[in-house]
Amino acid sequence: MRKISPARNSRPFDYAQPGDRLHCGKVSIAALARRHGTPLYVYSGDQIVERLGMFENAFRGRNHLVCYAVKANSALAILKLLAGRGAGFDIVSGGELERVLASAPEAVGRVVFSGVGKTAAEIDRALETGILQFNVESEAELELLAARARRMKRRARFALRVNPDVFAETHPYISTGLREHKFGIDIRRAPEIYRRTARSKWLEAHGISLHIGSQIRSAQPFGAAVERVSRLARQLAGEGIALKTIDAGGGLGIDYHSRAFDAAEHVREYAAAIEKALGGFEGRLLLEPGRFLVAQAGALVAGVLHVKSNGKKTFVVVDAAMNDLIRPALYQAHHEIVPVRRRSGRARAVDVVGPVCETGDFFARDRKLAPLEPGDLVALLDAGAYGMAQSSNYNSRPRAAEVLVESGKARLIRRRETMADLLAVEST
């Protein structure tokens, strides 16, 4: 994708004048931190809705459905917000299905179920609730699906998740579209599998799906992958197997570094590449964006506990840690860090670290930041995707609270865990 020049702040966090305090819309981050404590996740519901609108707009000429990838951020309030705007969901577990049912049961007919290891119990529950489509990742899974469908006397709509063997430039842990990856079925085997199921009473060949990876910044690999599956869909249609959906997966990336990121333009380029690749396909296009809808809407707010020097290096120890946001430790990911109260003074290179007993527990290394003191607050930006969703209780740390800001109003959507919550499920 070409570099975007307009200086548009792609984040919903900004310094309000006067006072130089970080705000999310009209809501003061410092006030939220005082009220709910830190570490604290803050999300802009307005930006999430705006991002969904960018997809709706870019694909408005086509029969399509945006199925938000729940795993990026599975907060019930966010699922409800998106379902209310017409979104469907891409789930990867029975647990995520229960989250959709708990927040927006009316949207269950807009759910696609992905994942390489679905269990019989998960399949049964999804059949019973009437999801839109199973994205099947192996022949063994398709057999299991047929067996469960027969048992439940419910016809199962499936799409084969094919592996288009397209390379997408991203971190190796989140690249999924090559033959060497565990995901999907070799696209060369797919036609035979569709033919075999054509007469099945319990399986309906409903669509074809792919997902080539995450945090992909160029539109080109999406176009290449969709072109391969739409060619296959045309071939199958010629044989009398008319698929109703092409699922182009998720994976559209954001810019974690720059403020000037034109999100709408990115979606338009992505849409253009997919449109071109779809050719004359007349069915429904499914899209599974996760990160793109929620990442930049969220920040993780942390308090500075200590500033310590060991001769060469300065460490800013904050009260958030890798258990709250693991992306830097897991993917060497970059998150911008900004002070909640803008500070003057010369920036110097520091490491921003958490209290967890792991050298990998850092948020930034040799990052130039204006001087910070104990008691200050900082915000880690672009933390709305794969932040809270990947959090854990490592080091017996209760998980953070979450706040959603919508049209100038903030509300707590998840209270901070207590030690009593953690201990309740254990016995000695």
Ligand X SMILES: *Cc1c(COP(=O)(O)O)cnc(C)c1O
Residues marked as catalytic: 357
Neighbours of 237 (CB within 10 A): 15
For residues 137 and 183, the answer to whether their CB atoms sit within 8 Å is yes
Amino acid, res. 327? R
> Given candidates 23, 71, 244, 399, which one binds ligand X under the rule CB under 6 A?
71
Q: Per CB under 6 A, does 249 bind ligand X?
A: yes
Q: Is the dihedral of CA 125, 115, 294, 33 positive or negative?
A: positive
**Is the CB of 93 or the CB of 323 nearer to ligand X?**
93
Which of the 8 DSSP states describes residue 82?
Answer: H
Interface mask toward ligand X for 29-68; x: CB under 6 A: ----------------------------------------
> Given candidates 25, 250, 298, 339, which one binds ligand X under the rule CB under 6 A?
250
Q: Per CB under 6 A, does 291 bind ligand X?
A: yes
Cα separation, 302 vs 305, in Å, equals 9
Query: Which residue(s) pair with 287 in the sheet?
Result: 66
Question: Where does this chain touch ligand X (CB under 6 A) — which range of 117-125, 245-253, 270-278, 339-347?
Answer: 245-253
> Given candidates 251, 328, 339, 384, which one binds ligand X under the rule CB under 6 A?
251
Question: Where does this chain touch ligand X (CB under 6 A) — which range of 49-57, 69-77, 151-159, 411-419?
Answer: 69-77
Q: Per CB under 6 A, does 207 bind ligand X?
A: no
**Is the CB of 19 or the CB of 173 nearer to ligand X?**
173
Interacting residues with ligand X between 375 and 414 (CB under 6 A) = 385
> Given candidates 44, 73, 114, 138, which one binds ligand X under the rule CB under 6 A?
114
For residues 229 and 246, the answer to whether their CB atoms sit within 8 Å is yes
**Continuous H helices in 59-186:** 76-84, 94-103, 120-129, 139-152
Q: Per CB under 6 A, does 288 bind ligand X?
A: yes
Neighbours of 308 (CB within 10 A): 12
Between the alpha carbon of residue 203 and those of residues 59, 114, 133, 229, the distances in Å are: 29, 16, 11, 20
Q: Per CB under 6 A, does 141 bind ligand X?
A: no
CB of residue 414 to ligand X, shortest distance in Å? 20
Question: CA dihedral defined by 134, 137, 139, 143, rounded to 10 degrees?
Answer: -30
Number of residues interacting with ligand X: please give it, by CB under 6 A. Answer: 18
Q: Is the dihedral of CA 141, 142, 148, 154 positive or negative?
A: positive
**Is the CB of 223 or the CB of 289 nearer to ligand X?**
289
> Given candidates 27, 66, 69, 326, which one binds ligand X under the rule CB under 6 A?
69
**Is the CB of 148 or the CB of 211 nearer to ligand X?**
211
CB of residue 177 to ligand X, shortest distance in Å? 11
Select from 301, 296, 378, 387 the least CA-distant residue to 338. Answer: 378
Q: Per CB under 6 A, does 266 bind ligand X?
A: no
Cα separation, 278 vs 289, in Å, equals 18
**Is the CB of 289 or the CB of 298 nearer to ligand X?**
289
Q: Is the dihedral of CA 232, 238, 239, 240 positive or negative?
A: positive
CB of residue 297 to ligand X, shortest distance in Å? 13
For residues 361 and 329, the answer to whether their CB atoms sit within 8 Å is yes
Q: Per CB under 6 A, does 289 bind ligand X?
A: yes
Binding site for ligand X (CB under 6 A): 69, 71-72, 90, 92, 114, 211, 214, 249-252, 288-292, 385
